[in-house]
Chains A and B, each alone.
Chain A
């Protein structure tokens, strides 16, 4: 096991508001981390900062990925290095074919590692395989990216992209929200299929439910831009029972 993602004293702001206020987190290969925390505490902000969204200014601290400074990379470089962000709100892109994006994404990564472009047959075979795993109808390939997808379909589509790209580090921002029980199982299947000693997964979630299917090694509570408490999976159960008020009290004590 080696350190993959190392975040130290990270402070980030958007539109002049400091959202991350000195956050520390280390994720090593083979691990699954769950990040929980109240609405507005900065979970998505953290995910977006790691993915490289330009609207956020990092004012202090550092983020390393495989020992290298992540913050100086463009979002696309981060993706090619193996970081995948499953968006809390996947973006609809009418007019851009889902298969086209998947293929372009796969090829961007292949090019980065010096491989040839994937051929059409191989691509289709791979896509079909991953879609079967996620119990997704193939017609989704020919639709506009997330265009008119239901909430749950969008989340499945995120997981499909993840499955195709096989990232080293997957950060899934509330991928479980809005899913029915079958979809939740399908998504969990996709995530569990990715679990590997060389990879790591960070799940941002509000619900213990997801963690029944994807068992985390660590659970963290984010509050007001910092991780205020970390523990094993039992922390999630405790949170479910006692609510965030309890964490705040403990943190303030």
Chain B
């Protein structure tokens, strides 16, 4: 089912992953690989486990009580669930952007500087250049460079989401996880985020969850279709959307359910 052999060098490879919320199993035997500097999209009907799977990749599920995981997730040949893994370090390498933009109630500057600061960067001018670079990368610099000290909550929804992207980029991740990053935004802001993803993939491995089929088709190189906790089909986006191999995938893509 999964043809990871065609990939150059998978950044992340997942093997036989089972995931449980207490007694209820949310993910069943997921195996797949995600290539570096490519965009992989997760699609599937609500409740099929996309977010859960995404959150296993930076161990955010660790923060929920009574969750269990089986199987392995390798990032650059290191199992992130190995006992000696430092979660703080992992999350530095694997950044995350959430569905609802969630800037801290601090200034724009402090939002972006927060990550580097807690990771030990104290020097003012170093911080400033990181903030500038991250905001540039997130396509927000020109809009906010004159008001870095204003409260981030005063930005528009789309700007807030790009600020959250900048904040995630500021810690220097290699992988960027995005859980429906544009679902709460207007079409123009959504288009900006999509453009941004196209730019970012040059430097990052991007995994995006989306409910929007067109969006998945537009931004991603690979697409994984999930259904009821199982990975039904995974392949190049072009193939998934034009010649799906599974009946379920076809039904979902053509809008017969979901």
Do A and B originate from a single complex?
Answer: no
